[in-house]
């Protein structure tokens, strides 16, 4: 890992087409701006982790969850929505 010290307004270049600009610092927070090609995915780690955990929890839903959803949509005969 490369660790750099930057001041507001200073930039970091990654390759030929990604520019990270330090916009502001306040206390223990740093605001950054990222210029990158549209094809480059830029995601916050905590959001990716939360989505992954939610997806995992959804796969572990109780066994009759699908049947209840279908019943509530009227797709499964014999099961009535409660």
Looking at per-residue pLDDT, the higher value among 15 and 68 belongs to: 15
Tens digits of residue pLDDT in 45-72: 999 999 999 888 877 767 677 777 888 8
- What is the Rg, in whole angstroms, of the alpha carbon atoms belonging to the chain? 23
Whether residue 78 has pLDDT greater than 70? no
Per DSSP, 22 falls in state E
Give the per-residue pLDDT at 44. 95
Q: Look up the pTM and report it.
A: 0.65
Compute φ and ψ for 8, nearest 5 degrees.
-50, 135
Mean pLDDT, the chain, integer: 88
User: Once rounded to an integer, what is the mean pLDDT over residues 36-51?
Assistant: 95
């Amino acid at each position: 890992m490369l660790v750099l010290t930057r001041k507001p307004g200073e930039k970091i270049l990654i390759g030929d087409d990604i520019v990270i600009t330090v916009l502001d610092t306040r206390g223990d927070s740093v605001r950054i701006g990222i210029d990158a090609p549209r094809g480059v995915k830029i995601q916050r780690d905590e959001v990716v982790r939360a989505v992954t955990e939610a997806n995992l929890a959804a796969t572990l839903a109780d066994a009759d969850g699908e049947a209840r959803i279908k019943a509530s949509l009227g797709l499964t005969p014999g099961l009535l929505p409660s």
